[in-house]
Chain A
C-alpha cells in the first residue's frame, strides 16, 4: 500500500466526518432558533421596516446630491466622490475613487459602467436588482419582519445633517445586523454599517460631507473616458435568466430565489451558472462552473462584509458569497446539488 493510497483513504474517511459535522451544525442552529422562540411561523408583516427602506431607496433615486463617501473595512479606508442627478431622463450617478488606482463607476438608470484605466477595462452591468426595492415584494416584507427586529436607535449629526439611526437586528445566526443612519429631512442614507454577531462593525459606508439638493448638470456625471480609447476592453456582465439545473437543497430560512441563469465572467472560458437568493435585506450568490485546471482556492475567505465559500462538487467548482456570516455561505455551498 503506497502512501498516496493511505492518504486517500484517510481523506475519504475525513470527508464522512466533515459531512456529518455540517449536518450537526445545521441541526444545532435550528435547535437554537426554536429554543429562542424565533420560529418564523405566524409572524405578521412589519410595514414600518419596509416603508422606511422604501423611503431611503426613493430618496437615493429622486434627490440630487454630491458628497464624499468613506468606505471602511478591515482597517482600511477608501474615499470616493459621489455625484447623483435625477432629471427628466432619469437617474445619473458617478463615483470616482480618490485614493489609489483611478476607478470610475457611471450609472445611467439601470446601466452601470465601471472604468479601470490601469487595466484598460470597461465593465458593463445592468442593475437587475431594481425590482427588489421599492416595489418590495410582499414575501420580502414578511421575511424582513420574521428574521429581523427593526428598532429605532440614536439620533446623530453626520456630515452636517441630523440623522436618525435604525437597526435591523437578526433573530438567528444566519444573518448579520445592519445599522443605517438616514437624513431626518429627506430619508437619504448617510451612513451604513454591517454588524457581526457581537455587534462589531464589519464594514461601513459614511458620507464625510454631503450636499443634498446640490446643483448638478449632465456634464458632471458623464464618464471621464468618453469615448473610451480604442484599445480598452469592454466586458459585459449580465446573467441571462435560464434554468441551470442546479439548486440549493437546504436553503437557510427566509431566503428565496431572485435570479437563475448563466453569465460570462472575465477569465472564465465557459459560461458560469449563477443563482441569487435573498432574505429581503441581503443576497447570496451561488456560482457553479466546470472545475478549472489550475488549483483553486477552496474554503472560506472574506472581503469586507462579504463571506465567500468555495468547494469542489464532483467535476464542478461551487462558489457561494454574500453579506452573511460564514456559516450561511458554507451551509449553502454544501447543499448545492444538481436536480
Chain B
C-alpha cells in the first residue's frame, strides 16, 4: 500500500487537484495512515466534487500501475443509476485490523459504497488469499460487497469441466472441483 505515497510524489502531475484535500492527504487516506480526526476531515472534504474526483483517479492510477483493473464497461451508467437510488448510510466505527482499514471506512459512506466491489476485486490478485481489506469492507458495509465476490459460480464450473481435456485423462475426478465449490456455496 505504498502506491499512495508514490502517487503523491507525482504532485502536480496528477490529473485533478483537490480543492480541500492535498495529494498527500489522499494518499495517506488510501494507505490508511491518517489519524481518526484527519479521516473525518478527509471524508468531509471528499463530499467536494474535486476531492472525490482525485480520490477516484488515484485508485484508478494505482490499479493501473499494479496492472490489475477490474472496471467493467457500463460501470459509469450503472453507478449513476444506483447512486440516484442510494439511501444515506451512517458510517460504523472503522475497524483497525487491516492497514487499509481507515481508508476502507470511507466505503461506508453512501457515495463510495458502490466502488467497494470494484476496488476490492481489483486488488484480488492471482494466488493471494482473500485480502483482509475485503472482509473488513464487508463487515463495514454489509451492503453489496458481499455480492461482489462469491466462490466460483458452480454452474459455470460444472458446465466447463466436461469439456476440459484433463477430464479425459483423469476420468471424472476434476468433477470434484465443482463438487467442492458447490459445498462452499452451501456453507456460505
Contact = CB atoms under 8 A, between A and B. Distances in A.
A71 B176 contact: yes
Contact of B121 (A114, A189, A298): A298
Interface residues of B, number: 70
B162 A112 contact: yes
Nearest to B47: A3
Contacts of B155: 265-268
A332 interface: no
A279 to B, nearest CB: 9
A170 interface: no
B126 A17 contact: no
A156 B82 CA distance: 58
B186 A129 contact: no
Contact of B76 (A12, A200, A327): A12
* B53, B148, B156, B157: residue with the most chain A Cβ atoms closer than 10 Å: B156
> Interface centre among B64, B69, B78, B148, by most A CB within 10 Å?
B69
Nearest to B127: A196
A165 interface: no
User: Chain B contact residues: over half helix, strand or loop, or mixed?
Assistant: helix
B170 interface: yes
B1 interface: no
Q: Is the interface of A mostly helix, strand, loop or mixed?
A: mixed
A183 interface: no
Nearest to B126: A326
A223 interface: no
B83 A25 contact: no
Contacts of B83: 3-4, 7
Contacts of B53: 6, 10
Interface stretch (B25-33, B35-43, B97-105, B177-185): B177-185
B13 interface: no
Contacts, number: 274
Contacts of A125: 158, 162
A129 B73 contact: no
Contacts of B147: 294-297
Contact of B162 (A3, A78, A127): A127
Interface stretch (A100-108, A209-217, A246-254): A100-108
A275 B148 CA distance: 25
22 contacts: A3-B52, A7-B76, A11-B71, A17-B69, A21-B67, A25-B67, A57-B168, A60-B169, A82-B171, A127-B162, A192-B166, A267-B155, A282-B166, A297-B117, A297-B121, A297-B153, A299-B148, A300-B121, A301-B149, A301-B150, A306-B152, A311-B73
Given A11-B75, A278-B163, 15 more contacts: A3-B111, A18-B60, A18-B63, A60-B171, A97-B179, A100-B183, A125-B158, A127-B168, A237-B158, A283-B164, A299-B70, A299-B117, A299-B149, A312-B75, A326-B126
